[in-house]
Structure 1
Amino acid sequence: MSEQPTPTAETQAAGSGAARKLVAVLLGLTAAVILMLCAFALPSINSGPHNMPVGVTGAEQTTQALRQNLDGDQWDVIAYDDADALASAIKDRDVIGGLAASATGIEVYTATAASPMGSSALTGLGNTLAAQQQSKATVHDLVPYPEDDPRGAGFSAAGFPMIFGGMIPAVLLARLFPGHTGLRTRLTGAVLFSLLAGAAVTAFLQYGTGSLAGDYWFTALGLSLGMAALSMTFIGLEALVGFAGLGLGAAVMMFLGNPLSGLATGPHWLPDGWSTLGQILPPGAAGSLLRANAYFDGIGAMSPALTLAAWVTLGLILILIADRRGAKTTLTATTTTETAPTPA
């Protein structure tokens, strides 16, 4: 009978290393799943008005009563002289809506395109206050979604095309034009695709479904900027770190950027910390820029546009570092080849 081979120290070490690697991978995947659950579940569980700016107007005694009803962490109350001033503040995006109280009842002013969930909550609050006065609330939607898409379904659905419009080109271009020699081609392709895709998506949402109502070219350029911020960041990460960097960037944008973007609800519907993070990431900034251009004639567009420009700059910096590193590696390889002794 033949003897069983005795495991060597090297084999045992390799097995132990593989076991540790497997444990690390499993723990990492579990942590990723929990992070995804947190990103999707926690903002939804804790959703609701969070320091949502609203205006009130009316007689001083009535206004004071309104402020007391709205006091708390949910609403950030600002008093206005009259209903016209309140309406102007809503259109200028200083507040998302407001209440005008009088002896005859409650006038509710909303801007559904700014925050559909906030408008719904404010309407419910107005109805409750009116019922307490044994009167009725009248709702005025000053900035609604377009008639062809009154619920804003097309606008809310724009998040995934923006994210995939930044991620998929980076993956394909990295496959088709790999390495340092293809880096500038990948950069050019990302910029051109962002412009084309931004124009195409805007045309579909504005003329195909009637979901957008702003100036077409400004809206398209804003959407293109959002896609460029994503694609150039992805390309920079891939060029510098490889596909692991691209995968990490895609995971962050999909599992944090998308649920925290506030695209369907408005950013004030998320808890403060989550909302701030969401608006810093490209999907949230791109959504806010699209909202500003599509419904408010560009009012409020500056901050998200600067945020997206910062991401584009970050992508360019990563690409520049990768380009310099690749050029240095190529030069070193060339020099080594030239100085290598020729065989006799």
Structure 2
Amino acid sequence: MSHHATPPGTGRKLTLVVLGLAGLIAAMLCAFALPSLHSGPHHVPIGVTGPGQTAEAVKEKVDGPEWDVRLYKTPDAVETAVKAGDISGGLAITAQSVDVYTATAGGPSATSALTALGDGVAEQNKTQASVHDVVPFTDEDPRGAGLTSALMPMIFGGIFPALILGNVFPGHRGLRVRLAGALIFSAVAGAAVAAVLQFGTHSIDGSYGLTALGVMLGMAALSTILLGLQARFGMVGFAFGGALMMLLGNPLSGLATGPHWLPDGWATVGQLLPPGASGSLLRANAFFDGAGGGLPGLVLMVWVVIGVGLALLADRRGRRSTGPRSKVVAASAAVDASHSELATSRE
């Protein structure tokens, strides 16, 4: 009768794995459910202009947890700020009407809420509200379905290279090949995704080159961080990174609604993760001529640096571990060769 002894520490490892998976599921549920339950305008920046004390009165009444009201001198200044992405929309109040300036491409949910706010102000002033969508989606895709659907290809564009290249070029010897392959794939796939969105579905507008560069950077951030985690911590690191990007970064990206529609803390976390930063950069490049793309671009570059840094650290440790072994193998080969030559000379 044979007995198989359980390796020491198995119970502890099993406990950690089970608790980790349970925590991941709980975090996933929170990421999907809580932002939806508490969705709505959260400190949405809007501009208000009007004669006399009208704008001040609206600011005192509206400014709060939902709206971040900023005063402007003229309607043209409000419209310019909306086009530049400085604010999500605005109200220009006159004695005859309330002009509502919106940017649907910047966040359709905030646009709907701002329109309702404008209707309420107009009703109080016994006037009519006129809506001016100064940054709309394209005529071919007025609801922005193509923009929203771009997030998953970008996320998978970061996961697939790390997974596939890791199997094709495994181990320490293939690490640099994997890293180079991921960067090349990000460039090619980013250009392809931008081309489909702009020339295939006509879902975005603006400079194709600028948009493509942003998508490339987003995919590079995802693929390099996953490769770095995989190289440094193995499949555990890859699984953790993939779950973080897919299960947390996806619902918190705010690409469909705009980040201001998520609760403040969740929105901040989402914008600091590659999916959220990639979505914000894509929106800025596609509809606002790059305005507002500086911060998400910086976030993505930081993730690229971290990913490459982890990969280089793993490469350095791999060289140290394989160095002595290589010397031993070389010495053994030299001894075998000398023995062979000696045997041959004796014959």
TM-score range, shorter chain: over 0.9
How far does residue 329 in structure 1 lie from its aligned partner after superposition?
1.4
Equivalent residue runs for 1:35-184 within 5 Å: 35-184=27-176
Equivalent residue runs for 1:263-302 within 5 Å: 263-302=255-294
**Which stretch shows the higher mean deviation, 45-54 or 219-228?**
45-54
Amino acid at match of 2:169: F
Amino acid at match of 1:263: L
Provide the alpha-carbon RMSD of the alignment. Answer: 2.0
Q: Does residue 210 of structure 2 align to residue 235 of structure 1? A: no
How far does residue 94 in structure 1 lie from its aligned partner after superposition?
1.5
**What's the secondary structure of 1:81's corresponding residue?**
coil
**In 1, Cα distance between equivalents of 2:21 and 2:82:** 45
How far does residue 84 in structure 1 lie from its aligned partner after superposition?
0.6
**In 1, Cα distance between equivalents of 2:265 and 2:16:** 30
How far does residue 326 in structure 1 lie from its aligned partner after superposition?
1.1
How far does residue 166 in structure 1 lie from its aligned partner after superposition?
0.4
How far does residue 133 in structure 1 lie from its aligned partner after superposition?
2.8
Q: Structure 1, unaligned stretches of length 5 or more?
A: none
**What's the secondary structure of 1:139's corresponding residue?**
strand
How far does residue 250 in structure 1 lie from its aligned partner after superposition?
0.4
Q: Does residue 312 of structure 2 align to residue 325 of structure 1? A: no
**In 1, Cα distance between equivalents of 2:264 and 2:108:** 18
How far does residue 338 in structure 1 lie from its aligned partner after superposition?
4.2
How far does residue 165 in structure 1 lie from its aligned partner after superposition?
0.2
Amino acid at match of 2:218: G
**What's the secondary structure of 1:242's corresponding residue?**
helix
How far does residue 66 in structure 1 lie from its aligned partner after superposition?
1.4
How far does residue 21 in structure 1 lie from its aligned partner after superposition?
5.1
**In 1, Cα distance between equivalents of 2:292 and 2:20:** 39
How far does residue 322 in structure 1 lie from its aligned partner after superposition?
0.9
**What's the secondary structure of 2:106's corresponding residue?**
coil
Please name the residue that 2:205 is paired with. Answer: 213
**Percent identical across equivalent pairs?**
54
**In 2, Cα distance between equivalents of 1:312 and 1:184:** 15
Q: Does residue 31 of structure 2 align to residue 28 of structure 1? A: no
Q: Structure 2, unaligned stretches of length 5 or more?
A: 340-347
Q: Does residue 192 of structure 2 align to residue 200 of structure 1? A: yes
Amino acid at match of 1:254: M
| TM, length-normalised to structure 2 | 0.91
How far does residue 132 in structure 1 lie from its aligned partner after superposition?
2.6
How far does residue 303 in structure 1 lie from its aligned partner after superposition?
1.2
What do residues 144-190 of structure 1 show as CA deviations (whole Å, max 9, x unaligned)? 00100011110011110110000011100000000111111111111
